[in-house]
């Protein structure tokens, strides 16, 4: 069969490979193999039980107060419990008993320094903006009252407790592991990657919200406020999941999480500083492809 030059050109054009579609998320789960449902369920239950024991057995009884009081606030019970108990348990269950590789739960040593550096840059930006606001306001430079009321050691210790304790534990458990592995398992069972992503996101972050119930009960949170708090926790968990998947770096999520919980602003009220953390994070996510173009090509598999 003879083909005209025009038809040959059309055939060649149609056969040419289409340009790769630009990815919006740096983490690609399309070829990621999730852990078994048995490990996922066992891990979630272990988190529920262990968190309840820690909240009522350690925080509720002030068990570590004699230790932390001698350390002047630099090392707090949140840091001791998370870095000394919860993070090691996470790693034991997932890496040793579960047989997973560190990268399968978002742990990458090379990215840790980048995440820590970015956290320091965000903290510095908060202080810089606060300084400008204070100077423009004409009220003179004055530290926020909590620095004098609580002391420098307690303020800095609270940030360290989040950065190397609570935020680190929760990002490993609920974003590095549960988020990715629940999505991967649902993708296989539902056969619809997009639906699996949404259902997996909501399911994993609902678990993240529920593990906060013991601490809310300990502090006497009324039921109506408890329900609203759980909804907000699901939303915050989704935000941290977005940060992780957008940047491809779990430690960026750890840093933002730590600053959200303990912004330690020198010049801005805590509520304003927390809002600034969210705003700066939004700018960071929009600018990320320019800041880290390698994160978007080629696809990165949940590392």
CB 103 within 8 A of CB 243: no
* pLDDT of 285: 95
CA angle 60, 63, 65 (to 5 degrees): 105
Per residue of the chain (303 residues), give pLDDT as tens: 454 544 444 444 445 555 445 678 899 998 899 999 999 999 999 999 999 999 999 999 999 999 999 999 999 999 999 999 999 999 999 999 999 999 999 999 999 999 999 999 999 999 999 999 988 877 678 889 999 999 999 999 999 999 999 999 999 999 999 999 999 999 999 989 999 999 999 999 999 999 999 999 999 999 899 999 999 999 999 999 999 999 999 999 999 999 999 999 999 999 999 999 999 999 999 999 888 777 665 544 565
Instruction: Name the nearest CA neighbour of 102 among 302, 299, 278.
Output: 302
* pLDDT of 112: 96
CB 43 within 8 A of CB 181: no
Establish how many alpha carbons lie within 13 A of residue 2's alpha carbon, considering only the half-sphere containing its beta carbon: 1
Residues 6+ apart with CB under 8 A from 137: none
Residues 6+ apart with CB under 8 A from 291: 284
* pLDDT of 303: 52
Tell me the DSSP string of 219-278: TT--HHHHHHHHHHHHHHHHHHHHHHHHHS-HHHHHHHHHHHH----SSS-HHHHHHHHH
Other C-beta atoms lying within 10 Å of the C-beta of residue 179:
30
Domain boundaries, the chain: 24-292
CB 241 within 8 A of CB 172: no
> pTM for the complete prediction?
0.90
Residues 6+ apart with CB under 8 A from 98: 35, 39, 43
Alpha helices in 82-192 (DSSP H): 87-91, 109-137, 145-150, 152-161, 167-170, 180-190
- Indicate the burial class of 177 (C-beta count within 10 angstroms; 0-12, 13-18, 19 or more): buried
């Amino acid at each position: 069969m003879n083909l005209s030059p025009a038809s040959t050109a059309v055939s060649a054009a149609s056969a040419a490979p289409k340009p790769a579609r630009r990815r919006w998320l740096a983490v690609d789960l399309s070829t990621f193999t999730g852990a078994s449902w048995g490990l996922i369920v066992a891990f979630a239950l272990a988190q529920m039980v262990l968190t309840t024991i820690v909240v009522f057995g350690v925080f509720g009884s002030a068990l570590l107060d004699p230790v932390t009081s001698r350390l002047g606030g630099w090392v707090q019970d949140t840091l001791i419990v998370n870095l000394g108990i919860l993070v090691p348990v996470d790693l034991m269950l997932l890496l040793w008993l579960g047989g997973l590789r560190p990268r399968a739960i978002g742990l990458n040593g090379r990215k840790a320094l980048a995440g820590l550096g970015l956290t320091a840059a965000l903290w510095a930006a908060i202080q810089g903006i606060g300084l400008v606001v204070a100077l423009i306001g004409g009220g003179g430079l004055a530290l926020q009252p909590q620095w004098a009321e609580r002391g420098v050691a307690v303020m800095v210790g609270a940030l360290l407790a989040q950065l190397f304790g609570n935020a680190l534990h929760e990002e490993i458990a609920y974003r590095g592991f549960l988020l990715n592995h629940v999505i991967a398992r649902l993708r296989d069972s539902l056969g619809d990657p997009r639906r699996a992503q949404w259902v997996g996101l909501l399911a994993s972050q609902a678990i993240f919200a529920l593990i906060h119930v013991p601490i809310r009960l300990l502090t006497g949170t009324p039921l109506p406020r408890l329900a609203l708090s759980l909804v907000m926790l699901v939303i915050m968990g989704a935000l941290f999941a977005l940060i992780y998947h957008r940047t491809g770096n779990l430690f960026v999520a750890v840093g933002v999480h730590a600053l959200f919980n303990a912004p330690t602003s020198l010049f801005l009220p805590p509520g304003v500083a927390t809002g600034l953390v969210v705003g700066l994070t939004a700018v960071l996510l929009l600018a990320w492809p320019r800041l880290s173009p390698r994160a978007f090509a080629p696809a990165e598999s949940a590392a």
